[in-house]
Amino acid sequence: MSTYDVCIIGSGAGAGPVAARLAEAGKKVLILEKGPWFNEDQFLRDEIEHVRRPNFYPSVRDEPQVEETWNSGLAGAGKTSGTFWNGSLVGGSSVFMSGFFLRMKPDDFTMRSTYGEVAGANRADWPIGYDDLEPYYAQVEREIGVSGRTIELPPTLADRRSTPIPLPPTREHPFAGMVDQVTSKLGLHPIPLPRAVLPEAMKTLAPEHHAQDGRDPCDYNGFCGSYACNTGAKGSSLAAWVPKALRAGAEIRARAMVYSLDTDATGRSLRAANYIDRHGKRHTVKARAFVVACQAHESARLLLNSARQGLHKHGLANSNGQVGRNLLFATYGAGWGDFEYRRLSAAWRNALQHSKEPFVNRVIQDYYWYDRTSRTAARTRHAGAGLPPGKGMEPGGLINFLLMSPNPISSAETQAIGEIGREIPLWGQPLKDRLDYWFNQQRPLKFEIFGAWLPSPRARIMLDSQVKDRWGLPVSRIRAFNHPRSVKNATFLVEQGKRMLRAMGATNARSVKRYGGPSTNLIGGTARMGLDKNTSVLNPDCQAWDVENLYVTDASCFPSGGRVPFTFTIYANALRVAEVIKKRL
């Protein structure tokens, strides 16, 4: 049996950068990925293929989860679901991301010391700060090809960056100009959204700016968020990091379900990973160091399923009982408004009917924090613009404008249900009229919020005592409780989004019925890093306190999720930890 320098469980955002960097340093790297390995030409632009069938994530029948959602009462009742599966394949859930690459801000790393404690929550500062990650943010932008442009902003909203965004922005939909014009009149600061998407303009740049690995620029087909990219333009782990790792000599074994990790007799050092291959045969792999990065709920489940009587009897790296606790999400919320063609000028009507650009690329960060004592005053002076964060302020979030997903089946279903709040199914001519209105008489503009999620002792991952997956392993029981203050924050942000839509001239500005709950594609916090081994699972280098050669590099290590999508920060932190592992090896 050969021994590897590093065995990495998972191949997504927390795994790909580690594999690439260590393989490039000459280390012998093995990646074990539970899911299959797809080629880009297998990714069809097909709603049924990507959205409506479990082709790229486990089926509920084979790999259920037990879900106690934020509004389920938490009375111990749970339902079997697959809500929190986001992609099980080489490249992980990063394959289906939208590529919104915004950096966390300095106060995202100091939530407890900046904003104070909250009753019923468990805020914690990161053991590292923005300046520790900034060089790695810049590395990620260069290596995967982030596109965008930088504009002048108030100091509290601007990024402290050492290098400019490396690639010019993708083409933008005419809605971008409308967002700029109207929100600027409201006293806000619309920000061009950096994206991990290679722009068409990349072809005109000098060769040193071109992305490597044969990736093509975006073809603007509109199938981006929730879809796998079939040109390689999106900077997923599959497109941007795995090829680097393979070129440097790393090995990947797909359909390898790791079910436990074994330590030596002392319990202080991992010696082996055990996995089941596609044929049901069991294997053992030895390595000098192990990296767990299979998404926060699965990383926690693997550590808990690696319990051994006598050693780590409550789970691997869990002597303090913290594995699975402090479950994080981004607080979810969304809304949209209709821009009816009959109400628009001929020029605007023509622009909205015929524009093919799928990206709006505009985000509002003026509500990243706001005055806690007077939300009315915050609305009047447009929240945190120009104001420093601190006690007495509330961490808020951002509002991102985008087009609706190109999913006609899902859209038709939504229209058939009827108006939000009434949900009376439509039939016959009323249904035909509604479908005609949605598809032919207007163009919707959507917004999503990314709000601060307050970690809570009640939100956690556990092993279910009864339900098992197809390998006979206990499945995750996911308690996705959200703190009431996070729900209020989401309500505030959603109302601001609808206000902006109305100011732009949208009719029927509305929101999803339930918001403030978990954004199920952004999961973290279950193996928190910190300075105190009694209250955290990992030290500041993402190394387990209990096991000297175990590292966790997905969003499990996050003490807080900030108010931006997680993937960019996962990439940057994974590169940081890869340097630590490289030196120790």
Contact 543, 514 (CB under 8 A): no
Render pLDDT for 490-504 as a digit per residue (tens, 0 to 9).
Answer: 999 999 999 999 999
d(CA 454, CA 120): 9
User: Which stretch of DSSP H or E encloses residue 103?
Assistant: none
Do the bridges between strand 460-468 and strand 474-479 make them parallel or antiparallel, or are there none, so unpaired?
antiparallel
d(CA 246, CA 566): 25
Neighbours of 153 (CB within 10 A): 15
d(CA 186, CA 503): 9
d(CA 54, CA 163): 40
d(CA 463, CA 180): 48
Render pLDDT for 69-82 as a digit per residue (tens, 0 to 9).
Answer: 655 554 456 788 88
Render pLDDT for 229-266 as a digit per residue (tens, 0 to 9).
Answer: 999 999 999 999 999 999 999 999 999 999 999 999 99
Burial class (CB within 10 angstroms; exposed 0-12, middle 13-18, buried 19+) of 228: buried
d(CA 298, CA 89): 14
CA-nearest of 574, 387, 583 to 11 is 574
Q: What is the CA radius of gyration of the chain?
A: 23
SS (H, E, C) 306-374: CCCCCCCCCCCCCCCCCCCECCEEEEEEEEEEEEEHHHCCHHHHHHHHHCCCCCCCEEECCCCEEECCC
Token duo for residue 370: 């706001």
User: Which stretch of DSSP H or E encloses residue 551?
Assistant: strand 550-552
Cα four-point dihedral sign 407, 412, 413, 418: positive
Q: CB-based contacts of 206: which residues, under 8 Å, 6+ apart? A: none
Q: What is the DSSP letter of 45?
A: S
CA-nearest of 324, 233, 290, 289 to 315 is 324
d(CA 302, CA 537): 14
pLDDT of residue 378: 44
User: Which stretch of DSSP H or E encloses residue 24?
Assistant: helix 16-24
pLDDT of residue 362: 97
Burial class (CB within 10 angstroms; exposed 0-12, middle 13-18, buried 19+) of 2: exposed
Paired with 370 in beta bridges are 394
Cα four-point dihedral sign 56, 59, 63, 66: positive
Which CATH architecture describes the domain 1-58+86-146+230-320+525-585? 3-Layer(bba) Sandwich (3.50)
What percent of the chain clears pLDDT 70, i.e. is strictly above it? 92
Render pLDDT for 246-255 as a digit per residue (tens, 0 to 9).
Answer: 999 999 999 9
Token duo for residue 186: 């409201």
User: Which stretch of DSSP H or E encloses residue 573?
Assistant: helix 567-584
Contact 395, 561 (CB under 8 A): no
pLDDT of residue 387: 58
Burial class (CB within 10 angstroms; exposed 0-12, middle 13-18, buried 19+) of 41: exposed
d(CA 272, CA 111): 37
What DSSP letter does each residue of 397-433 carry, written as one string? EEEEEEPPPS-HHHHHHHHHH-STTT-----HHHHHH
Contact 369, 197 (CB under 8 A): no
Contact 66, 464 (CB under 8 A): yes
- Location of structure tokens 């990495």: 8
Dihedral, CA atoms, 308, 312, 314, 320, nearest 10 degrees? 180
d(CA 438, CA 440): 6
Does the global pTM surpass 0.75? yes
Residue stretches of the chain with pLDDT short of 50: 74-75, 376-386
Helix, strand, coil distribution of the chain in percent, nearest 5: 30, 20, 50
Contact 182, 503 (CB under 8 A): yes
How many Cα atoms within 13 Å fall on the side-chain side of residue 557?
34
Q: What is the DSSP letter of 232?
A: S
Burial 396-413 (b: 16+ CB within 10 A, else e): bbbbbbbbebbbeeebee
Do the bridges between strand 190-192 and strand 79-81 make them parallel or antiparallel, or are there none, so unpaired?
unpaired
Cα 205 versus chain centre, distance: 30
Give residue limits of the domains in the chain: 1-58+86-146+230-320+525-585, 151-193+329-454+483-516
